[in-house]
Amino acid sequence: MKQLIVLLGPTGVGKTELSLSVAEHYDSSIISADSRQFFKGLEIGTAAPTEDQLRRVPHFLVGMLNVENYYSASEFEQDALSVIATQHKTHDTVVATGGSMLYIDALCNGIDDVPTIDESLRGELYSLYEQEGLEPIRAQLKVLDPDFYNEVDLKNYKRVIHALEVCLMTGKPYSSFRSKTKKPRPFIVKKIGLMRDREDLYNRINRRVDDMMDMGLFEEAKRFYPYRHLNSLNTVGYKELFRYFDGEWTLDFAIEKIKQSTRIYSRKQMTWFKRDKEINWINLSTAQGEDALNTIIDIVS
């Protein structure tokens, strides 16, 4: 039986290097399930695989989009399944790795078939958000889909806007498209969750931000400053430096905010993932290198 090994976990935990070792062990390719690594030019800020790592193992869905492109979890599901089907013709195992919760869910469980949104409507709503904030969009959603309004994180502007997009585009509540039915897959899915002790993880995150700055994150963010209004650039690391470029923050303060925002995001990731009882967890603070790889091999066997 063909299988998909999914290595998931919070940002900075050590997914990249371990995924390479797992892929090499199984003579597999790697599919990125990181929603920002899809975009070209954001290699430093998204910790995209390096040229050396790309030579070690073939990667898919990395750097294939321009920052202006819109790319949904539904599109990712279809693209990833297509890659897996092709790879399974010659390999029994494919590895996927990332920390983008919704995209991993889409890959493993499927995502509901939500209608394609007209780009002009999306532009209008994002312009409204930029000019007046999220409150008028929340107010419309409350009227058009009170059920979803009562369960969505009302501070998550992307989800609020997307739900309203669907309501306005179809004339139906967004909640009516959400069946929450798990779709069958023609392969076995093995989910491996990577975690670390909190202090260890936070220290790694702080060091990684410093390393990114040394590697040229400042210059990378500067190049994309003219595109700061795009959803693809509403990303930790870039949006904090944009505040510096706008003259709102000092550079030192922006760097500290990157570290803080990344730590906060890592907690959100863990909260989301811990709901999934299918995940087999490995603590990389205690199991490293060969030990971690052998544990994964045992779980998958």
CATH architecture assignment, domain 3-112+187-300: 3-Layer(aba) Sandwich (3.40)
Distance of CA 39 to the CA centre of its chain: 12
Q: Regarding predicted confidence, which is higher, 159 or 16?
A: 16
- At residue 243, does pLDDT exceed 90? yes
pLDDT of residue 91: 96
pLDDT of residue 174: 86
Structure tokens at 70: 């819109």
Task: Identify the three-state secondary structure at position 61.
Answer: coil
CA distances 249 to 107, 192, 252, Å, are 38, 39, 8
Q: Mind listing the pLDDT tens digit for each residue in 168-191? A: 988 989 888 776 678 999 999 999
Strands of the chain (E only): list them: 3-8, 30-32, 59-60, 93-98, 188-195, 279-283
Boundaries of every domain in the chain = 3-112+187-300, 119-177
pLDDT of residue 157: 87
> What is 119-177's CATH number?
1.10.20.140
Report the sign of the C-alpha dihedral through residues 179, 101, 103, 93, in that order. Answer: negative
pLDDT band at 208 (very low <50, low <70, confident <90, very high): very high
pLDDT band at 227 (very low <50, low <70, confident <90, very high): very high
Q: Mind listing the pLDDT tens digit for each residue in 130-150? A: 999 999 999 999 999 998 898
Q: Mind listing the pLDDT tens digit for each residue in 27-68? A: 999 999 999 999 999 999 999 999 999 999 999 999 999 999
Global confidence as pTM = 0.84
Question: With pLDDT > 90 as the criterion, what percentage of the chain qualifies?
Answer: 80
Closest CA to 66 of 34, 106, 38: 38
Q: Mind listing the pLDDT tens digit for each residue in 13-29? A: 999 999 999 999 999 99
